[in-house]
């Protein structure tokens, strides 16, 4: 009997997770079946419990259920607790273990795959939602000289920075406060790109030899990346590497073997143009 895993979200038709985990399983010789589940809004607990009762061993969780998964878990990792959101579950007898690998996957993609060290660098994250919450602790562990969270609702960014202050040099501000400031790494964690919009960030935040990273993936040259390119930034990336790296973390957590990611990233990469 194959061990069963799944990704749950709504909508779920666009998901690359079955392809990714299928490639991982083939490469590592793991005997698993990985499917996609279209979860019902307001019924996450019932849907997750049904999958578990049918023999499911673990799940990846995507929008809009990351907070529901947090509530469903019986034990949460420190990362998941800090993020307040969960992107992976593991079923172990009566226990439902919860993790958040988004920030770890993003950090690994930046540092390892993009070859862009964060240590001693100035880092800017646009947005103060769940994606940013998940990234903050892994980012601070890389010891940047400063980590700035910019958000439309300034209070939200400031509150988030205050919560993390004991972990490193982090502060929150509004977009208007970024005038005259420059950063080595700029991350767009807002939902603007999903709507084809540009977050209200001044073009002066970028440095030519820095990195502009779009957390959305498969959208090509988004307004954010186009703006960075026009200001002279040569290193542009979208979230495909983050997607694959967080999947590899979950696969390792479930199966005890960490798959090689480069071939999967190469298969899923869409040229940024």
The pLDDT tens digits for 181-202 are 999 999 999 988 888 899 999 9
| 238-266: average pLDDT | 97
Tell whether domain 103-238 is in CATH 3.40.50.720: yes
Annotated binding site: 15-17, 62, 87, 102, 127-131, 151-156, 215, 217, 239, 246
- Tens digit of pLDDT for each residue in 3-45? 999 999 999 998 999 999 999 999 999 999 999 999 999 999 9
267 is catalytic: no
Q: For all residues of the chain together, what is the average pLDDT?
A: 95
Annotated binding site for NADP(+): 127-131, 151-156, 215, 239
Report how far residue 32's alpha carbon sits from residue 50's, in angstroms, rounded to the nearest whole number. Answer: 18
Residue 91 pLDDT > 90: yes
Residues in the chain: 273
pLDDT of residue 129: 87
**CATH topology agreement for domains 3-100+241-268 and 103-238:** yes
Contacts of 122 (CB under 8 A, 6+ apart): 144, 145, 146, 148, 182, 183, 184, 185
Q: Provide the residue ranges of all domains of the chain, joining segments of one domain with +.
A: 3-100+241-268, 103-238
Percent of the chain with pLDDT over 70: 100
Residue 27, classed as helix, strand or coil, is helix
pLDDT of residue 63: 85
Contacts of 243 (CB under 8 A, 6+ apart): 16, 20, 105, 217, 268
Pick the CATH number of 3-100+241-268 from 2.40.10.120, 3.40.50.10860, 3.50.50.60, 3.90.79.10: 3.40.50.10860
User: Out of 66, 90, 121, 267, which one is annotated catalytic?
Assistant: 66
Report how far residue 56's alpha carbon sits from residue 251's, in angstroms, rounded to the nearest whole number. Answer: 14
pLDDT confidence band for 65 (50 / 70 / 90): very high
Report how far residue 240's alpha carbon sits from residue 16's, in angstroms, rounded to the nearest whole number. Answer: 10
Q: How would you list the strands of the sheet with 235-238, edge to edge? A: 170-173, 146-150, 122-126, 185-188, 211-214, 235-238
Closest CA to 125 of 54, 31, 66, 211: 211
pLDDT of residue 201: 96
pLDDT confidence band for 68 (50 / 70 / 90): very high
- Tens digit of pLDDT for each residue in 44-54? 999 999 999 99
């Amino acid at each position: 009997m194959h061990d069963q895993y799944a990704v749950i979200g709504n909508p779920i038709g666009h998901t690359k997770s079955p392809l990714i985990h299928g490639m991982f399983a083939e490469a590592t010789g793991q005997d698993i079946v990985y499917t996609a589940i279209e979860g019902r809004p307001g019924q996450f607990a019932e849907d997750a419990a049904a999958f578990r009762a049918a023999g499911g061993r673990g799940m990846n969780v995507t929008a809009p259920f990351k907070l529901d998964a947090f509530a469903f878990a019986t034990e949460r990792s420190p990362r998941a607790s800090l993020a307040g959101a969960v992107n992976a579950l593991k079923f172990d007898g009566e226990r439902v273990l919860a993790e958040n690998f988004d920030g770890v996957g993003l950090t690994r993609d930046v540092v390892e795959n993009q070859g862009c060290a964060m240590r001693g660098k100035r880092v800017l994250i646009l947005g103060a939602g769940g994606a940013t919450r998940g990234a903050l602790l892994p980012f601070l562990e890389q010891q940047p000289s400063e980590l700035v969270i910019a958000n439309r609702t300034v209070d939200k960014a400031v509150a988030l920075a205050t919560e993390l202050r004991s972990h490193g040099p982090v502060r929150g501000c509004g977009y208007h406060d970024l005038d005259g400031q420059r950063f080595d790494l700029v991350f767009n964690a807002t939902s603007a790109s999903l709507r084809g919009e540009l977050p209200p960030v001044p073009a002066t935040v970028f440095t030519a030899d820095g990195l502009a990273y779009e957390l959305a993936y498969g959208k090509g040259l988004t307004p954010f990346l186009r703006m960075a390119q026009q200001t002279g930034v040569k290193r542009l990336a979208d979230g495909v590497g983050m997607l694959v790296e967080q999947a590899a973390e979950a696969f390792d957590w479930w199966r005890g073997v960490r798959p090689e990611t480069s071939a999967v990233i190469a298969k899923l990469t869409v040229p940024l143009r």
